[in-house]
Structure 1
Amino acid sequence: MNNKEKGDLGECIACEYLLEKGAEVLESKYKIKSGEIDIIAKIDNELVFIEVKSRSNIKFGTPSESVNYKKIRKIVDTSKYYILKNNLYNIPIRFDVIEVYFNENKINHIINAF
């Protein structure tokens, strides 16, 4: 399985996890020219922008450690565009990271990650 396939699988697992927790998934793989957001969901009346990171092992660090400043900036900018385009000004927002550990069959949901 290549990295794109692993990423797609991790995002599917994260979507299933969110749906089981009662979230409403609004968008998956939301892309604009300047950036991408893996999942946009509504959880407890909050608009949540979610970055999904998957790993088979932690040889190179935990999944969330790969969400660096440059990636955060792109997610924030893309979320601003999404809010503007959909007129979602008066809804509380947050940014989460979902870590998917394939070998351990484990998910770690980091709320308000940045």
Structure 2
Amino acid sequence: MTDRTPSRHARGAGGEAIACRHLEHRGLTCLARNFRSRGGELDLVMDDGGTLVFVEVRLRSREDYGTAAESITAGKRRRVVRAARYYLHRHGAHQRPCRFDVVTVDADGETTWLRDAFRADD
């Protein structure tokens, strides 16, 4: 008998696709998905009218352990910021305005966009 439960990776990719479509429908343009650096990973890099938006996507099938937004620890924020700095360096985009957003996707597919969810100096 085969386990038909999607893998964590597949669920994550599905959540990122939902988040990307959600943001694109609101006028943002996707520049990169799953940008990896040694220091961390960026789920989505979007352009919002000239502002680079580094998006952390959080999926939650249950809230027993807290909400998706609550799952973004200080350590996770540091890794996202580190990866964003590397992205800026790699793409020569140091002078562009930037922000860090979070998109949460719950078990029902309900999507919440938290603009400017945290800062690089948090």
| TM-score between the two structures when normalised by the length of structure 2 | 0.88
Displacement of 1:44 in angstroms is: 2.2
1:91 maps onto 2:103 in alignment: no
Alignment of 1:1-114 (within 5 A): 1-103=6-108, 105-114=109-118
Displacement of 1:54 in angstroms is: 0.7
Q: Tell which structure's C-alpha radius of gyration is larger.
A: 2
Runs of 4+ in 1 over 2 A off after TM superposition: none
Gapped runs of 5+ residues in structure 1? none
Q: How many residues align?
A: 113
Query: What is the CA deviation profile of residues 23-78 of structure 1, one whole-angstrom value per residue up to 9, with x for unaligned ones?
Result: 11000000112210000000122100000001112111100111101110011011
Q: Pairwise CA RMSD of aligned residues?
A: 1.0
CA distance in 2, matches of 1:102, 1:46: 30
CA distance in 1, matches of 2:72, 2:87: 20
CA distance in 2, matches of 1:73, 1:46: 20
Displacement of 1:82 in angstroms is: 0.7
Displacement of 1:106 in angstroms is: 0.9
Q: SS of the residue aligned with 1:111?
A: strand
Q: SS of the residue aligned with 1:89?
A: coil
Gapped runs of 5+ residues in structure 2? 1-5
CA distance in 1, matches of 2:23, 2:110: 14
